[in-house]
A and B are shown apart, each in its own frame.
Chain A
């Protein structure tokens, strides 16, 4: 059993009681909600005649269903309009702060909370969304929950949960040029598998992690869940504190000093005990692309899609399913596979640094005429910053469509969808069958820089050929 890790410390700090049966009652410091997984929870409160216990500890935004072409109200899609109205009404009735479209602070919930300074070290954070693990980048313990648990948090500010084990993933050396956080996390998931993290929190550590910016760290923690780990985190440091400083909801003045003193004390002890430790050499990682139907099915850009007998027996069943669904041949190179749609966005890679990197690749280049390419900023703040820097113009000049903020084609709950068996190069997090809106659509996950390179060439490409520094 783990001891004295940041996870243990934050868990113990938030433990309200031991419940009969062995799970713990855990206080949730920050609760984030959105339109998809909250309406039924508010409905259940009404049925049980309960109130929201600490309305100030819940913050709402709208992201999954928002259209990215025309956001004027009412939305063209009646069901989407009904969902946003329900959220608006629930927030109004229960006095929950809601960052709506046009507020300047709306966006994907996991992009918005950090940029508002809501996400802070040492907190427990829950949201009805599996990518809540993103917030662990700040040294918080953050995890996705289902709607029944959203109800529990609204009613009690606590949830019942079994304590997780802790696996440290020590990333040695440094990522090489043209290789990004997305490549690192795809590589980790490939090495450990998509279910290795079940029952675990992942602590990402080591020189390669320390060198990452806060936005890159968010990309890593975001995809913990794709490796099966409901929670992923990184011990906070100066970069963490500097990121939070002066944000809208950050502690101010004398409170800032107190916060800083506390945050500086929050990290895994040097002699802390982990349930497991894994080492990864970051310098060996190439730009990484998925070829299959799980985020674990990835290879380096210069590798071939694995043959069945190169895979462990446990991976062969899903591999067979993937060959068939993707219509790719075992042994085929991933490089040069034609792509028809290029998507830059999502809670994994829809932040300003992602847009900057992609724009740098696209500057003075044109998107291939066979490709439909679009970029969806992660939030209104990201969009406005990008415009200030002229990034929107670089995207538009290259042939990318510039859209309004939302989750968009990461999960295709709005009208941004693949058609038929189109192949998309996507900076999002899931390549599941049908994930991007077409039951036969095919998704190749990669870094935003790699998506930009694929858009220019109309096929999977090595972004390092575009970077001359």
Chain B
């Protein structure tokens, strides 16, 4: 584990860091954090176990074990990253390892929502651009500067226009990505909806 973990808070408009490339399609959340590490009542100790089984299998050759990647913060992945289980433990483990943003060909829906909910922006790029980044960062250190306002990623040699859901981009820029308070602002509307729903009335045996 690295230096003391502090969760992101407030506006996120700019992320700068070294890229770490993880090649593979359909990498599921069981692989990101195997189920036995879900036996916990908080997320604090998950960082060191990220990709535990894949790392053990590769005996030090896994990207998350390479010395050159130890300070990386921007994860580069391929398609359908984070498929499978809804466990938020997966992005929590990545975040606690040091990941601050993910760029990939595509993401599974629940994993994407979980990342947004805890302050990890996920961007998409074409397969070709991802391969370009992965090839580059295989040989050299690649530092990217991500500008959320303009959806741009820049480095000394490479520039990309990133895609991100407009709703997510706006939430990060405004600092309102921690949804609870935004949702609670509509407390009256929530009460109104509750009273309107047909099934609330006929479910007297509900509980």
Contact = CB atoms under 8 A, between A and B. Distances in A.
Interface of A: 13-14, 16-17, 19-23, 25, 27, 29, 36-37, 39-40, 43-44, 48, 50, 53-54, 56, 59, 64-65, 77, 79-80, 82-83, 86, 97, 118, 120, 122-123, 128-130, 132, 143-149, 151-152, 155-162, 194-195, 198-199, 225-226, 228, 230, 248-252, 255-256, 258-259, 262, 294, 314, 317-318, 321, 411-413, 430, 432-435, 437, 439-440
Interface stretch (B14-22, B154-162, B190-198): B190-198
Interface in B133-192: 165-171, 174, 176, 179-180, 182-184, 186-187, 189-190
27 contacts: A13-B197, A20-B176, A20-B182, A21-B166, A25-B186, A27-B193, A39-B42, A40-B42, A40-B43, A50-B180, A144-B110, A146-B86, A146-B88, A146-B110, A146-B114, A151-B180, A152-B179, A157-B190, A158-B183, A160-B167, A248-B205, A251-B203, A251-B205, A294-B28, A318-B26, A411-B85, A437-B36
A195 B106 contact: yes
A23 to B, nearest CB: 4
A27 B190 contact: yes
A413 B54 CA distance: 18
A252 B38 contact: no
Contact of A314 (B79, B183, B190, B203): B79
B83 A251 contact: no
A20 B110 CA distance: 21
B184 A155 contact: yes
Contacts of B24: 317-318, 321
Contacts of A413: 35-36, 38-39
Contacts of B91: 146
Contact of B194 (A39, A54, A130): A54
Given A40-B42, A147-B88, A434-B30, 8 more contacts: A17-B189, A56-B206, A130-B110, A147-B89, A156-B180, A199-B109, A255-B202, A430-B28
A298 B10 CA distance: 45
Contact of B26 (A17, A44, A195): A195
B41 interface: yes
A156 B194 contact: no
Contacts of B36: 412-413, 437
A318 B86 CA distance: 21
A84 to B, nearest CB: 11
B66 interface: no
A185 to B, nearest CB: 16
B84 interface: yes
Q: How big is the B interface, by class?
A: 35 or more
B86 A37 contact: yes
Nearest to B44: A40
Residue among B107, B171, B176, B202 with max Cβ neighbours from chain A (10 Å) = B202
A77 B28 CA distance: 26
B39 A79 contact: yes
Contacts of A132: 86
Nearest to B115: A146
Contacts of A144: 86, 110
Contacts of A48: 180
Given A129-B86, A161-B113, A430-B84, A21 B170 contact: yes
Contact of B87 (A146, A199, A251, A258): A146
B38 A36 contact: yes
B11 to A, nearest CB: 14
Given A228-B83, A255-B204, A433-B30, A122 B198 contact: yes
Contacts of A158: 183, 186, 190
A78 to B, nearest CB: 9
A326 B7 CA distance: 38
Contacts of B117: 146, 148-149
B202 A251 contact: yes
Given A16-B189, A20-B174, A43 B42 contact: yes
Given A37-B87, A411-B85, A21 B167 contact: yes
Contacts of B194: 27, 54, 157
5 nearest A-B pairs in the assembled complex, by CB-CB distance: A148-B117, A146-B88, A146-B114, A21-B170, A21-B167
A102 to B, nearest CB: 19
Contacts of B56: 439
A1 to B, nearest CB: 16
B110 A14 contact: no
Nearest to B83: A194
A226 B87 CA distance: 15
A370 B110 CA distance: 39
B167 A22 contact: yes
A48 B184 CA distance: 12
